[in-house]
């Protein structure tokens, strides 16, 4: 049977064109390229789409929400089969998600959640539990400092303002240390998940705290921690010793910094969301119902295990 006849036959029974072997088209709005985590996340999604035979329309928003909204509108106009979104911030996506729903295009949230009352605007969310990541960072510090005396003065580098991982990692860390009177966050400011800003803000913290001891840096991602490590060294201090450094993601450069004795622990947050995302897209188009929440399993890697783990790291 000729292809066009096959397509007509499928349409006649209400099946979409892709059922005739036409590849599924996935429109993905990526935040940008602000960190090593994000680079690994994009690579994972592109490779997994190729492996799955899914046509990927990849839109890099360069950290701007308005570019993500524009990309989603373009995907709707192009009538893609599925939309995936990694939202740069939690709010402001309701209108465009309602437009996708009205167009009958399912949306999968990947990496970060949005805060919308109408949770039917997305069919599934896959990503980490950022509050738990913050708790894990706090628990590590409690364990590291137990039995000591005197104040433990903490400075915090927050991720992007309004982003789910920034809000939730702060919340989880504060929850974990709330019953520890010695542990005090004395400065907290965003460095937007980037290495350059992590260095800049840490320099400002050290200047502002001149004459007082800074005991710990809690950074919401490895890139900001690595920038801050540079600032600590330029201030003549030893990162990992004079100032304990705690961060999140578990990218390769963090393991290298731990082997060098400059970073004390990284809480894993896997960017390798490509394969589960493509599986979810295929399941969706095969008529299966997706779980509302697909969780990624992750660990905590203190410096003591870094040398052993480094060769095994996949991002
Ligand atoms: C977490 C992800 C965060 C990473 C950062 O899932 O959204 O954004 O922790 C990245 O490195 O920039």
- pLDDT per position as a tens digit, 23-76: 999 999 999 999 999 999 999 999 999 999 999 999 999 999 999 999 999 999
Which residue of 31, 35, 125 sits with most ligand 1 atoms within 8 Å of its CB, as the best mutation to test the pocket?
Answer: 35
Ligand 1 pocket residue status of 125, Cβ below 6 Å: no
Residue 44 CB–ligand 1 contact under 6 Å: no
pTM value is 0.93
Q: For residue 203, count CB atoms less than 10 angstroms from its CB and return exposed for 0-12, middle for 13-18, buried for 19 or more.
A: middle
pLDDT at 229 (0 to 100):
98
What confidence tens digit (pLDDT) does each residue in 211-268 have?
A: 899 999 999 999 999 999 999 999 999 999 999 999 999 999 999 999 999 999 999 9
Q: Are 38 and 250 in contact (CB under 8 A)?
A: no
Counting ligand 1 atoms within 8 A of each CB, the residue from 193, 277, 295, 297 with the most, and so the one to mutate, is: 193
Domain ranges of the chain: 2-128+271-297, 130-269
Lowest mean pLDDT among 13-22, 163-172, 249-258: 13-22
128 lines ligand 1 (CB under 6 A): yes
CA 172 to ligand 1 centroid distance, Å: 16
Nearest atom, ligand 1, residue 127 CA = 6
Mean pLDDT of the chain: 95
Question: Is 85 in contact with 111 (CB distance < 8 Å)?
Answer: no
Kindly state the average pLDDT of the residues 156-160.
Answer: 98
**Which residue's CA lies nearest to atom 11 of ligand 1?**
37
Return the pLDDT at 14: 58
Question: H-helix or E-strand containing 58?
Answer: strand 55-60
pLDDT tens readout for residues 174-202? 999 999 999 999 999 999 999 999 999 99
The verdict on the CB of residue 249 being under 6 Å from ligand 1 is yes
CATH 3.40.50.2300 fits 2-128+271-297, yes or no: yes
Separation of alpha carbons 115 and 163, rounded Å: 10
CATH code of the region 130-269: 3.40.50.2300
Is the CB of 87 within 6 Å of ligand 1? no
Q: What is the total residue count of the chain?
A: 315
Distance 252 CA to ligand 1 centre (A): 14
Question: For residues 280 and 310, what is the distance between their CA atoms, to the nearest angstrom?
Answer: 30
| Ligand 1 centroid to residue 39 C-alpha, Å | 10
Pocket lining: 37 vs ligand 1, CB cutoff 6 Å: yes
Residue 21, by phi and psi: left (phi above 0), alpha (psi -120 to 50) or beta?
A: left
Q: Which atom of ligand 1 is nearest to the CA of 164?
A: 7
List CB contacts of 70: < 8 A, sequence separation 6 or more: none
């Amino acid at each position: 049977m000729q292809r066009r006849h096959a397509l007509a036959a499928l349409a006649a029974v209400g099946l979409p064109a892709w059922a005739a072997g036409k590849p599924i088209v996935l429109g993905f709005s990526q935040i940008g390229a602000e960190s090593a985590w994000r680079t690994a996340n994009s690579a994972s999604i592109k490779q997994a789409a190729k492996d799955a035979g899914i046509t990927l329309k990849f839109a890099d928003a360069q950290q701007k929400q308005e570019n993500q909204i524009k990309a989603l509108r373009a995907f709707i106009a192009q009538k893609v089969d599925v939309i995936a979104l990694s939202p740069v911030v939690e709010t402001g996506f309701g209108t465009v998600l309602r437009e996708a729903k009205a167009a009958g295009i399912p949306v999968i949230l990947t990496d970060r959640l949005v805060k919308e009352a109408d949770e039917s605007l997305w069919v599934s969310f896959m990503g980490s539990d950022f509050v738990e990541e913050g708790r894990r960072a706090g628990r590590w510090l409690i364990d590291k400092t137990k039995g000591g005396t005197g104040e433990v003065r903490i400075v915090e580098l927050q991720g992007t303002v309004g982003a789910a991982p920034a809000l939730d990692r702060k919340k989880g860390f504060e929850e974990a240390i709330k019953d520890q009177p010695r542990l005090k966050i004395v400065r907290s400011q965003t460095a937007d998940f980037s290495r350059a800003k992590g260095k800049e803000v840490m320099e400002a913290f050290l200047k502002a705290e001149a004459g007082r001891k800074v005991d710990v840096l809690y950074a919401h991602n490895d890139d900001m921690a690595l920038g801050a490590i540079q600032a600590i060294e330029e201030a003549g201090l030893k990162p990992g010793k004079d100032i304990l450094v705690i961060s999140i993601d578990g990218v390769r450069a963090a393991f290298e910094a731990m082997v060098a004795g400059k970073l004390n622990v990284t809480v894993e947050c896997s960017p390798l969301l490509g394969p589960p995302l493509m599986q979810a897209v295929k399941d969706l188009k095969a008529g299966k119902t997706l779980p509302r929440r697909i969780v990624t399993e992750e660990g905590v890697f203190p410096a003591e295990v870094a040398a052993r783990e480094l060769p095994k790291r996949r991002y």
